[in-house]
Homo-oligomer: A and B are copies of this chain.
Amino acid sequence: MAERPRIGFAGLGIMGRPMARNLLRAGYPLTVWNRSPGPAQELAAAGAAVAGSPAQLAASADVVITMLRDTAAVEQVVLGDEGLLAGFQPGEIYVDMSSISPLATRRLAERLAARGVVMLDAPVSGGEVGAREGSLAIMVGGPAEALARVRPVLEVLGSRIVHLGEVGAGQVAKACNQLIVAVTIGAAAEALLLASAAGVDPARVREALLGGFAQSRVLDLHGQRMLAHQFAPGFRAALQLKDLAIASELGAATGVPLALTETARRLYGELVAGSGADLDHSGLLTLLERQAGRTLN
């Protein structure tokens, strides 16, 4: 691989677009592909080449990065007609930064290994702001030597890169992260609405609790969103539900009972089935408010 590897980037959504821009800005030769052409044209205007298919993208690059919606989208882009698999050269590195099933990740890695391609899973935390600022937390699974080779690239995208183990380990950590975030959001929503319904100012309760064992970044940031009733995402409830399904699938596969995760999954399912899919995940409060027949403030 050259000092500055050629990068192929597929998936120019809310997260992928600013990430690809940061790579361009850092001076990496960049080719992009996106299912709908608009975002690719936008990156082309900023200096990227545009590939006609994932296969062409893989053929033009030393390192391919994907940032896609879900497991099905990644499998389609890698394995589908004109997929990455059809264009990869032996020795290429494939970095999937989407949040998808760890089990599907391991299966993909096996398929790719048979073609001489090393796969890293590298899901992120930090949202759109982190993507714009290049300050994402990146959870990596896969061979250490492959991570060493792409680390300079990842350092453009994130400020905290943690290697968690073999391929899939990044997705496992991400699933753990997402289940904790969802359950903690639910706990904060229950506590703040309970305080309010019992006649106590939820803002004062949040403030008091941040000084003790109930402290969390969720109670701080998402709790503030709940008090302000500001549920523009942020991180969409529909994606939170998708990530809870991944944790749930992993629990079923490993025999670990996840009662709180399953409860949170049911609540997010109700929120999304209502009109809450596009709310920030802290908008889970609105489901509780509807059920309780009262609002927080």
Chain A interface (Cβ within 8 Å of chain B)?
102, 125-126, 137, 139, 141, 160, 162, 164-166, 168-169, 172-173, 175-177, 179-181, 183-184, 186-188, 190-195, 197-201, 204-205, 207-209, 211-219, 221, 247, 250-251, 253-261, 263-264, 266-267, 288, 291-294
Contact = CB atoms under 8 A, between A and B. Distances in A.
Given A180-B219, A256-B190, A164 B251 contact: no
B164 A194 contact: no
Contacts of A259: 186, 190, 263, 266-267
A186 B207 CA distance: 23
A291 B260 CA distance: 14
Contacts of A253: 198
9 contacts: A164-B200, A169-B200, A176-B205, A179-B190, A180-B219, A194-B254, A194-B258, A256-B292, A260-B267
Nearest to A263: B263
A175 B194 contact: yes
Given A162-B207, A176-B195, A293 B184 contact: no
A255 B209 contact: no
Contacts of A125: 212-214
B208 A162 contact: yes
Given A125-B212, A216-B216, A258 B173 contact: no
Nearest to A141: B200
A211 B254 CA distance: 26
Contact of A254 (B179, B183, B198, B208): B198
A216 B176 CA distance: 14
A167 to B, nearest CB: 11
Contacts of A181: 213-214
B205 A261 contact: no
A219 B256 CA distance: 18
A173 B218 CA distance: 17
A231 to B, nearest CB: 16
Closest 9 CB pairs of A and B: A216-B216, A197-B254, A176-B191, A183-B187, A180-B214, A125-B212, A162-B208, A215-B217, A169-B200
Given A164-B200, A172-B195, A190 B260 contact: yes
Given A164-B201, A209-B176, A292 B255 contact: yes
Contacts of A191: 176-177, 179-180
Given A160-B211, A194-B256, A255-B293, 16 more contacts: A137-B208, A162-B207, A173-B200, A179-B187, A180-B214, A180-B219, A184-B187, A184-B216, A186-B259, A187-B260, A187-B261, A193-B256, A198-B254, A213-B218, A259-B267, A260-B263
A62 B46 CA distance: 76
Nearest to A198: B172
A160 B210 CA distance: 12
